[in-house]
Amino acid sequence: MGNTIIEKIWEKHVVHREAGKPDLVYIDLHLVHEVTSPQAFSGLRMKNRPVRRSDLTFATMDHNVPTVNRNQIVDPVAKNQMDTLRSNCLEFDIPLADLDSPDQGIVHVIGPELGLTKPGMTIVCGDSHTSTHGAFGSLAFGIGTSEVEHVLATQTLWQAKPKTLKVEVSGSLGPGVSAKDVILYIISKHGVKFGTGYVIEFCGDVIKNMSMEERMTICNMSIEGGAKASIVAPDDKTFTYLNGRKYVPEGDDFLDNILEWKQLESDDDAEYDNAIEIDGNEIAPMVSWGTNPSMTAPVNSRVPYLSECDTEAERKAVQRAFEYMGLEEGQQITDINVTKVFIGSCTNSRLEDLRAAAEVIRGKKAAAGVQAIVVPGSQNVKKMAEEEGLAQIFMEAGFEWRESGCSMCLSMNADIVNPEEHCASTSNRNFEGRQGAGARTHLVSPQMAAAAALHGHFVDVRNLAAVEV
Amino acid sequence: MSSFKEMTGKAVAMDRTNVDTDQIIPKQFLKRIEKTGFGQYLFYDWRFKPNGELNENFELNLPENHGASILIANENFGCGSSREHAPWALMDYGFKVIIAPSFADIFHQNCLKNGVLPIVLKEDEVAYLLKQSRKQPYELTVSLENKSVLGSDGFKAEFDIHPYWYNMLLNGWDEIELTLQLEERIREYEAEHSGNSTRIS
Ligand code: SF4
């Protein structure tokens, strides 16, 4: 029997194996941000332990950073957290993409962008969306702060070998249907814990035909389906993307790497612990209506009726979600009005996402009463978007063009959605209070968010295209 | 790591599915750089009304549930963000054990690392505990050594825990210390795989 890509990477990283214990696996890259690291560094300091491999560690500030006047951090507690990261990086000799660095950005955007993320690696970060990096054929997963400390001290982690789940997305996507819709569709169909205990391998024609950006969007949100991590086998698109990036080897070294990376692909006779098949042709643009990402429906449909719930627990959860979201059962998705639009987050803030949104709004204006903000995922994305005129398109349409960071994805900085306000958001979580106390989040693709901004309610981007192209 | 052997305490029911870590500890409280003091913010948006007043209808606020140290939860507890602030807040509030039919992976791991025992029981067992713990006083005795949960009403269940964590928790070992004893092995691995990853600086 052959091996899956997941097993191949795993076995290559086992440092120590003994009965009755998880495996001790080596970590090739450790990404660090300001929110989940301070207690880990204090732990080291208390025991007088050094960082074992600061050369395999890379830090950035993203969660707390303001997206306007970014150097004036008014919240003293946030400022303290950022200052703490800065001094920890200095003390332990860890490279940091600080606020004034051209490389600063959301940790999961800059990893790939700088070429830190590469196929075959094990990557961790104290952040659940570390799964994003799996798009490059690396085994990347989120960890807690104790584990951050463990990796800083030992460059290893005790981890039980994960089970494998193959998710094959076949067919092709219709116009106006994006990677975001694919992952929302999968979660709406299979729930928020179908991936629990598994590492997912995404494959099939739809995945093959996706750009690296789109694959990142899919892997990013696999955690919303409960998966520890997800992975896409590296191919020529992966190699082309990586070629020439800051931390990618050059010349013959790069070619050697490619030869190695090509071996990672799952063998034809590899067996998975579980498998799911998805027909890409069935997927429509999606809009989440509830308070977890499985509460999502196609834009041209409606929210459920309570009578359609299978179990009492589900009925209670849906009822609660309706109350929180201010929705009626059976309501059409296109009847939901929005007054906030957020284009950003590690799910959808890369150049391609911004291009897709700009395409929808070019030459148009945001509806009266809608505040739309665009937060590029990194300073590099911001610069490129400005150079190619996207920023101009957004501003002419009345969208606010901001500095890079996590922003309204979790609203730790000043960017928040008001109580009871509906927000079309390209982020990944629609949990209660995520974007602010009482905020009503609807997860959508960048195209759908842009279209909602123009109309003040959700619209099917496919209709826009039919009418206006 | 804190050790865990056996404890007896009041159990409280939180019969909601998919409770995410954004609910357990909302993001506005993640800016502290210490591990302590998070208990006051546990389930903040549920415990308090928008005007800051106590929400008297919330499970944990019912007077009969005060002082509970065992949380009976439902499916997929702790999903979402990897924030370890979630177990820190639960622990600081006074919870030592969480019983549910399933947990999200990272949260489960984060609990173990902090000496909060996450126990997976069968759905019907949890359903029974959810029902019983609505009628206070209801006490459970949890023994890690025997891997058992005993109720003041005669309820009895056994649970599984990975032998690694069983030993780690019972003995309260420092995981990093144990790993560092394998220093030699880690160094060998690094030597064998020196071309494996690209240096950053
Ligand atoms: S953008 Fe959102 S999900 Fe991504 S790292 Fe930042 S806070 Fe987390």
Optimal mutation site among B2, B14, B18, interface A, most CBs of chain A within 10 A: B18
List the domain range (segments joined by +) for residue B25.
6-193
Provide the pLDDT for residue A469.
37
The enclosing domain of B23 has a CATH number of 3.20.19.10
Token pair for B92: 């600081």
Q: Is the pLDDT of residue A175 over 70?
A: yes
In a domain, A87, yes or no: yes
Is any ligand 1 atom within 6 A of the Cβ of residue A133?
Answer: no
| A 410-469 → B contacts, CB under 8 A | 410-412, 419, 429, 431-434, 437-438
Model pTM score: 0.96
Q: How far is A35 from chain B (nearest CA, A)?
A: 7
Radius of gyration for the alpha carbons in chain B, expressed in angstroms and rounded: 19
Provide the pLDDT for residue B199.
57
Q: Is the pLDDT of residue B175 over 60?
A: yes
The answer, for A77 touching chain B at a CB cutoff of 8 Å, is yes
- Give CA–CA dist B114/B111, Å, rounded: 5
Provide the pLDDT for residue A465.
59
Rounded average pLDDT over B66-84: 96
Per-residue pLDDT band at A247 (split at 50, 70, 90):
very high
Q: How far is the CA of A426 from the centre of ligand 1 (A)?
A: 11
**A210 and A89 in a common domain:** yes
Share of chain A above pLDDT 70, in %: 99
Rounded average pLDDT over A342-361: 98
In a domain, A237, yes or no: yes
Q: How far is A122 from chain B (nearest CA, A)?
A: 10
**A208 and A335 in a common domain:** no
Provide the pLDDT for residue B195.
63
The enclosing domain of A390 has a CATH number of 3.30.499.10
In a domain, B201, yes or no: no
The answer, for A28 touching chain B at a CB cutoff of 8 Å, is yes
Residue contacts between A and B (CB atoms, under 8 Å)? 184
φ, ψ of residue B158 to 5 degrees: the values are: -115, 150
Q: Which among A54, A160, A193 has the least Cβ separation from residue B76?
A: A193
Is any ligand 1 atom within 6 A of the Cβ of residue A351?
Answer: no
Per-residue pLDDT band at A467 (split at 50, 70, 90):
very low
**A204 and A303 in a common domain:** no
Other Cβ atoms closer than 10 A to B187: 11
Provide the pLDDT for residue B194.
78
Q: Is the pLDDT of residue A212 over 70?
A: yes
Helix (H) or strand (E) holding A186: helix A179-190
Name residue B27's amino acid: K
Token pair for B61: 């606020």
In a domain, A102, yes or no: yes
Contacts of A154 in chain B (CB under 8 A): 176, 179-180, 186
The string of DSSP codes covering B144-197 is TTTTEEEETTS-EEE----HHHHHHHHHT--HHHHHHTTHHHHHHHHHHTTTSS
Domain boundary among A210, A240, A274: A274
Provide the pLDDT for residue A72.
87
Provide the pLDDT for residue B196.
56
B151-165 pLDDT per residue, tens:
999 999 999 999 999
- Counted domains in chain B: 1
In a domain, B199, yes or no: no
Provide the pLDDT for residue A68.
94
A422-452 pLDDT per residue, tens:
999 999 999 999 999 999 999 999 999 999 9
- Give CA–CA dist A178/A450, Å, rounded: 13
Judged by CB atoms closer than 8 Å, whether chains meet at A247 and B50 is answered as no
Contacts of B20 in chain A (CB under 8 A): 292, 429, 431
Provide the pLDDT for residue A168.
98
In a domain, B133, yes or no: yes
Rounded average pLDDT over B118-138: 95
**A316 and A173 in a common domain:** no
In a domain, A279, yes or no: no
B7-34 pLDDT per residue, tens:
999 999 999 999 999 999 999 999 999 9
Domain boundary among A274, A298, A323: A274
| A 86-145 → B contacts, CB under 8 A | 95, 116, 118, 121, 126-128, 142-145
Q: Is the pLDDT of residue A405 over 50?
A: yes
Judged by CB atoms closer than 8 Å, whether chains meet at A144 and B106 is answered as yes
Provide the pLDDT for residue B169.
95
Contacts of A32 in chain B (CB under 8 A): none
- Exposed, middle or buried: residue A35 (CB in 10 Å: 0-12, 13-18, 19+)? buried
Rounded average pLDDT over A226-239: 97
Q: Which atom of ligand 1 is nearest to the CA of A344?
A: 1
Are A152 and A51 in contact by the 8 Å Cβ rule? The answer is: yes
**A203 and A177 in a common domain:** yes
A279-292 pLDDT per residue, tens:
999 999 999 999 99
Is the complex ipTM higher than 0.95?
Answer: no
In a domain, B144, yes or no: yes
- Counted domains in chain A: 2
Whose tokens are 């990672």? That residue is A264
Judged by CB atoms closer than 8 Å, whether chains meet at B22 and A155 is answered as no
Provide the pLDDT for residue A464.
86
Contacts of B82 in chain A (CB under 8 A): 36, 126-128, 142-144
Is any ligand 1 atom within 6 A of the Cβ of residue A127?
Answer: yes
Q: Is the pLDDT of residue B64 over 80?
A: yes
List the domain range (segments joined by +) for residue A65.
5-274
In a domain, A283, yes or no: no
In a domain, A438, yes or no: yes
A101-124 pLDDT per residue, tens:
999 999 999 999 999 999 999 999
The answer, for A50 touching chain B at a CB cutoff of 8 Å, is no
Other Cβ atoms closer than 10 A to B118: 25
**A259 and A372 in a common domain:** no
In a domain, B200, yes or no: no
**A311 and A164 in a common domain:** no
In a domain, B198, yes or no: no
User: Mean pLDDT in chain B?
Assistant: 94
